[in-house]
Amino acid sequence: MNLTRRSVLGIGGLAAAATLSACGSNSGLGGSSSSAPASGAASAGGVTLAQWYHEYGEAGVKEAVEKYASEYTAATVQVKWNTGDYGKTLAAQLLTDDVPDVFEVEQGGSLDMIRAGQLADLTDLIAPVKDDFNDAVMKRFTFGDKVHGIPQTIDMQLLYYRPSVLKAAGVNPPTTFEELVTAANAVATGDMGGFFAGNDGGIGILGTLLVWASGHTQLDDARTQAAFLTDDFYAALSAYRSFFQTKGLLKAASAEWHSGAPFVNGETAMQWGGLWSLPDIVAAHGEDVGVLPFPKIGAGGRPAVPFGAFGACVAAKGKNVEAAKDFVKWLWIDQTEKQVDFSNSYGTHIPARKSLVAKAGKLASGPGAEAAKLVAECGYANDIMWSGPLGETYSANVSNIVKDGKDPKEAFAGFAEQVAAELEKLKA
C-alpha cells in the first residue's frame, strides 16, 4: 500500500487493505521522482542538503515546499518530490551510503527505523517548544523518551452530520454509540442513508476505533500484552454487528469513506470521513454541517478520533547531520508562517502547534474550529509497536465477527498469545 498523508490514518480493521489516495486526487508516493534545486545561498561551508517529500495531491504543495527551501540561506536545499511507493523507496535508500539529509516519515518514525539507528535524535531540538505541539501527536512521536521527527501538519477523521436532517427526525447529534444507531435508523429513508463509513459497512476504517471508543488502548503501558480483550470490547463488537444489520447503516455509496461525495450528494445524513473533505462539504451544505468524534461505546467508553501526521526527520548516518538539524529547526520550529501556510493553503489540515491553530483561517469558526479541538481532546493513533501481523489478524477477526457472525470471544481466542509473542519479538 502506498504511503500517503491519508494512509497514516489507516488505523485498523481492514484499513490496511483500503487504498487511500494522497490528500487530493493523487494516490502515489515514491517510485519515480523529480528534484528541484533550491536557490538558497550555499554558505555554511558550501553545504548542500537533500530533502525528500512524498507526493501530495493538493495543488501548490510542491511549489510551496520548494519555495520554503529556496528561502533558507545557511545551506543549499535540494527538494526531491517522490511519486509512487514512497515508503519502499525511502526504506531502500536509507540502507545505502547516499541517504537523504531530511525526509518525511509517518508518525515521526517507525520502530524499525529507530532501532536501526537511521533517525537522528531531535529531542533537544524540539524541547523548548514541545509543549506547544499537539499533545496527542507528541505522545505518538515519542518513543523511549526520545523524539525523532518534528510534526509538520495533522490529518484526522471525524463524523459529519446534517443538523437539519437530525432535527427533522427528532433526534440529537449522537454522543453514544446507542444514540448513533438510533439517529441513523431514524433519518434513513429510501433516498438517504443514515450513516456511511465505507462500502464495506465501515468494518475497515472503524475497526480499531472500537478499541478506543470502548475505553481501551491497544497495548498495556509496558507494551507486553493486549489491553482490550475484555467483555466491554466484545460487547462493542457485538453492538457494531447489530448495527451492521440495520437499515440505518448505508453499505453502498457512490464513493468510499475518504471522499466527501456521498455526504455532499445527499446520499447519507451522517458520514465518517476526513477533515480534508470539509471545504467541499461546506460548499455543498453551508451552515447545515456539524462534526463529532466517533461516540463512546458502553459505560466505560469514550469519544475518539484517529489522527495522522508526517514528521520531518534527519538521517543519523547522513553527511551533514548538524546542518540538516539546523534546517529542520528553521523550517518546522522557527518559521511559523510557513507552517500555517503548509496546513491552511492546500486543503484543510490542522497545524501541529497549538498556538498556530487560531491562525489557520479554515479552522477559525464553525465545524473547522470544532474539528481542531478533537485531536487534542480525544485523538488516538496506532501504538508504534502495533505491528503488521497484529493488525492483519485483528482485521480478519473483526470481519469474521461483523460480517460472518462469529462469536467475539471465539474470534479472538489465541490473540492474546499472538500479541505477547509479537511484542517479545519486537523487543528482542
Grid coordinates in use for 251? Answer: 453499505
Same domain for 237 and 317? no
Domain boundary among 305, 321, 337: 305
One domain, residues 22 and 144: yes
CA 163 to centroid of chain Cα atoms: 26
Whole-angstrom Cα distance, residue 78 to residue 159? Answer: 39
Question: Which of 348, 363, 380 is the endpoint of a domain?
Answer: 380
Residue 312, SS3 per DSSP: strand
pLDDT confidence bin for 29, thresholds 50/70/90: very low
Of the residues 305, 335, 362, which one is the last residue of a structural domain? Answer: 305
**66 vs 39: CA distance, rounded Å:** 9
Same domain? 281 vs 320? no
Q: List pLDDT tens digits, range 198-233.
A: 999 999 999 999 999 999 999 999 999 999 999 999
Segment (H or E) for 182: helix 177-187
Does any domain span residue 270?
A: yes
The whole domain housing 255 covers 157-305
| Beta partners for residue 37, in sequence order | 78
Residue in the structure block whose three cell numbers are 517529500: 53
Please count the CA atoms within 13 angstroms of the CA of 147 that sit on its side-chain side: 22
**Secondary structure of the chain: what % helix, strand, coil (to 5)?**
40, 20, 40
Instruction: Report the run of H or E that residue 415 belongs to, with start and end.
Output: helix 415-427
289 & 260 share domain: yes
In a domain, 128, yes or no: yes
Q: 234 and 341, same structural domain?
A: no
Say how far apart CA 223 and CA 386 lie, in whole Å.
Answer: 9
- Residue 142 and residue 100 share a domain: yes
Encode burial over 405-424: b for 16+ CB neighbours within 10 A, e otherwise: ebebeebbeebeeebeebbe
Please give the tally of structural domains in the chain. 2
Residues 290 and 220 in one domain: yes
Task: Give me the mean pLDDT over the 310-324 stretch.
Answer: 96
pLDDT (tens digit, 9 = 90+) per residue, 149-198? 999 999 999 999 999 999 999 999 999 999 999 999 999 999 999 999 99
Report if residue 38 sits inside a domain: yes
- Same-domain check for residues 133 and 234: no
pLDDT digits (tens, 9 = 90+) for 76-89: 999 999 999 999 99
20 falls in which pLDDT band (50, 70, 90)? very low
d(CA 244, CA 107): 31
126 in the same domain as 61: yes
Distance CA 235, CA 223 (A): 24
Distance CA 284, CA 269 (A): 13
Residue (of 362, 382, 228) closest to 291 by Cα position: 362
The answer to whether residue 311 is domain-embedded is yes
The answer to whether residue 390 is domain-embedded is: no
- As a whole number, mean pLDDT of residues 49-61 equals 92
Domain with 362 in it: what CATH number?
3.40.190.10
Distance of CA 168 to the CA centre of its chain: 33
**Looking at the domain assignment, is residue 408 inside a domain?**
no
Q: Would residue 366 count as lying in a domain?
A: yes
Q: Are 156 and 378 in contact (CB under 8 A)?
A: no
- Provide the pLDDT for residue 12: 42
Whether residue 37 is predicted with pLDDT greater than 70 in this model: the reply is no
Same domain, 176 and 58: no
Task: Write down the pTM of the prediction.
Answer: 0.85
In this structure, the answer to whether residues 71 and 111 fall within a common structural domain is: yes
Residue 130: CB atoms within 10 A of its CB come to 15
Residues 342 and 255 in one domain: no
Query: Does 418 reside within a domain?
Result: no
